[in-house]
Structures are given as structure tokens and as C-alpha cells.
Amino acid sequence: MGLSWQQGPLGAKPVGHFLVPEPLPERLLFAEPLRRRMRVRLADEWVADSEDVVLLHEPNRYPVAYFPLTAVADGVLVAEDRVTEHRDLGPTAWFTVHAEGGDAARAAWRHTDLPKHADVLRDRVAFAWRAMDAFYEEDERVLGHAADQYHRVDIRQTSRHLVVRDGDRVVVDTHRPVALYESGFAPRWYVHPDDVDRAALTRVDGQTFCPYKGVADYYDIGDRGRAAWSYRDAWPEVGRVSGFVSFEPDVVDVYLDGVKLALEPGQTVTPHGIDRGLDAGEARN
């Protein structure tokens, strides 16, 4: 979650609301300077490199990075006979991205007749995330989508009493869980592996990738499918939960200080859009 995705303030179903007398427009787009050097790589070539990237936040979309046309290498953009209409930003021309090692069709776009209020995106181009080989901030690869500057993860130790049950079987009974607070989401409770009845967990095929936490493995508990997950090797920024296990309260019974938890509305994460798909394999490349 961030500014405009999931339950963010500019998303479709924000968890909070603006204290204003009149309703806001149904859709609000927000553009801001990224203030980080970003580079794009395709077929072992740098196709774009700029410190003047603009990040577009659009409702229900991950942030998209727009590069000045002058920051794109010569000969990289090959115009296609394809124009679409963006509901807020007007006609959108599409490009094949050309590199000596290979081309990527339908891999970049620019808005060609922007309304005056969106002038900040004029003469800028965006690259489809999954069509490129990699995006970098300085010399470090950015995975999943452009980093949302409003997305935050905080982890806090607690002595609250967490119990997880599969029917009569106690899977967890601990007074030392950690709470993971992630922008726009209800808290998730992670448990040290020593406090989990590991015999109750059966690892299943299929992993997911979070650009803020890493690759997640999933576990069945009895006949409750994908009832738990764990980031076995979480990103350094959230390393405190590496190897810890979290449990899905709408699949298995989770109690915090004696109160049964339920999954809050709007918490399901779904990849969205041509340039915004996420998967575990991307993190390994």
C-alpha cells in the first residue's frame, strides 16, 4: 500500500478520510519528483538514466516513473501504430523499446495531448516494468515497481498473548510476538519459529513476492489451505521477521489477548496492470 494503492488516501477505498466540507473528486492523480537517480536496463543496455524522474500516483495503481525524453538513449523508442485513451490524461502513444540485444514490444508510453494541469508529465515517457530487464536506483535494483515513498513498514516487539488454534490443536501460544505495521494495512502478527508447532505446518507450492519484504513461503495447517506464511530471508529493512511465521485470521483461528481476530476489509493484495505484475521469480533474477 502507498499513497494511491489499496487503502491509501488517494485509493478507491481509503481507510481514512480528508477533513474537508465538500466531497473530493472520485479520482485524484498525484505527481511528484522522485528525487532519486533511476535507470532502466534492457538486454544489457542502459536505455534510460535520469535524476529528473516524476512519479505518478494513480488510484488503484502502483507508482509509475516517468523519464524525460532527453534521458532516453538514442534509438531506443520505436513508435508503434497504437494509441490508447487514458481516462484522465488523454491520448497515449505506445512504443517498442529497442536494444541491440533484443526488442520489447508495447513496452513504453507517453501521453501526447495532456491537459494543462498535467503539464508535469509533458515530454516524458514511462517504461512497462515487466517488459524491462531491470530498474535501478543508483546501483541497486528496485524490484516489483517504483518505490512508493509513502509506504512504510514498522516492526515492534510486544508481550501481548497470541494464540493460534487449528480446532483443538494449539499451533502457537506465545507472549513474544512481533507486530508488523505496514502502511494502510491492519497489523500482522509474526511469531518466532521456536514458538510454533512446526509439525502442524505443511509447506505448499507457490510463493509470492513483496517489494518491501521479500519472497514469502506458504503453509497449510491441517485442511486449512495457505493458513500461514513466512519470509525465510526477508529484505534487510525488515530482517527482524526473517524466519518468523504469520497466520491468516480468516483461515485459521488467531486470538490476541483472548480476542479472536478477523481479516479486515481491503487487505487482499492483487497485482494490477501491465507494468505492475509481481511474482517471486522477479526477486531471484
162 — pLDDT class (breaks 50, 70, 90): very high
* Residue 1 reports pLDDT greater than 60: no
Q: What is the pLDDT of residues 204-228, one digit of tens each?
A: 999 999 989 999 999 999 999 999 9
134 and 163 inside one domain = no
110 and 205 inside one domain = no
86 and 167 inside one domain = no
108 and 57 inside one domain = yes
Q: Which of 266, 255, 258, 262 is CA-nearest to residue 182?
A: 266
- DSSP, res 284: H
184 — pLDDT class (breaks 50, 70, 90): confident
Task: Give CA–CA dist 111/188, Å, rounded.
Answer: 39
Structure-block grid coordinates of residue 89: 490524461
113 and 167 inside one domain = no
Res 244: pLDDT: 98
Answer for the pair 116, 127: CB distance below 8 angstroms, yes or no: no
CA angle 19, 21, 22 (to 5 degrees): 110
Answer for the pair 32, 120: CB distance below 8 angstroms, yes or no: no
158 and 240 inside one domain = yes
How many structural domains comprise the chain?
2
61 — pLDDT class (breaks 50, 70, 90): confident
Structure-block grid coordinates of residue 213: 519484504
Q: With respect to residue 15, please indicate whether it lies within any of the assigned structural domains.
A: no
244 to each of 109, 158, 217, how far by Cα in Å?
A: 41, 14, 11
45 and 130 inside one domain = yes
Q: With respect to residue 280, please indicate whether it lies within any of the assigned structural domains.
A: no
Answer for the pair 15, 7: CB distance below 8 angstroms, yes or no: yes
Res 220: pLDDT: 98
Task: Give CA–CA dist 196/231, Å, rounded.
Answer: 15
Res 100: pLDDT: 94
Of 117, 142, 167, the last residue of a domain is 142
80 — pLDDT class (breaks 50, 70, 90): very high
Q: What is the pLDDT of residues 254-274, one digit of tens each?
A: 999 999 999 877 666 666 666
Counting residues of the chain whose pLDDT is more than 70, the rounded percentage is 94
CA angle 235, 239, 240 (to 5 degrees): 155
b/e per residue, 188-204, with b = 16+ CB within 10 A? bbbbeeebbeeebbeee
157 and 134 inside one domain = no
64 and 137 inside one domain = yes
Res 268: pLDDT: 66
CA angle 39, 136, 138 (to 5 degrees): 85
Answer for the pair 104, 132: CB distance below 8 angstroms, yes or no: yes
Residue 241 has φ and ψ, to the nearest 5°, of -105, 10
Average pLDDT of the chain is 93
206 and 240 inside one domain = yes
Res 49: pLDDT: 98
Res 15: pLDDT: 82
Structure-block grid coordinates of residue 216: 514469502
233 and 175 inside one domain = yes
- Choose the weakest-confidence range: 158-167, 239-248, 257-266: 257-266
Indicate the burial class of 231 (C-beta count within 10 angstroms; 0-12, 13-18, 19 or more).
Answer: buried
CA 269 vs. chain centroid, Å, equals 8
* Residue 169 reports pLDDT greater than 60: yes
Q: With respect to residue 199, please indicate whether it lies within any of the assigned structural domains.
A: yes
Per-residue pLDDT, averaged over 11-19, amounts to: 85
Answer for the pair 3, 148: CB distance below 8 angstroms, yes or no: yes
Q: With respect to residue 133, please indicate whether it lies within any of the assigned structural domains.
A: yes
Question: What CATH number is attached to the domain comprising 105?
Answer: 2.170.150.40
Residue 79: give the domain boundaries.
30-142
CB 211: neighbour CB atoms within 10 A?
18
Q: With respect to residue 281, please indicate whether it lies within any of the assigned structural domains.
A: no
Q: With respect to residue 198, please indicate whether it lies within any of the assigned structural domains.
A: yes
87 and 113 inside one domain = yes
Q: What is the pLDDT of residues 103-115, one digit of tens each?
A: 999 999 999 999 9
Of 86, 111, 142, the last residue of a domain is 142
Q: With respect to residue 283, please indicate whether it lies within any of the assigned structural domains.
A: no
Structure-block grid coordinates of residue 185: 494495512
Structure-block grid coordinates of residue 123: 515530454
Per-residue pLDDT, averaged over 154-181, amounts to: 98
Res 11: pLDDT: 83
Q: Which of 152, 157, 133 is CA-nearest to residue 143?
A: 133
Q: With respect to residue 275, please indicate whether it lies within any of the assigned structural domains.
A: no
Using CA atoms in the order 33, 38, 41, 47, what is the torsion angle rounded to 10 degrees? Answer: 60
Of 122, 142, 162, the last residue of a domain is 142
* Residue 7 reports pLDDT greater than 90: no
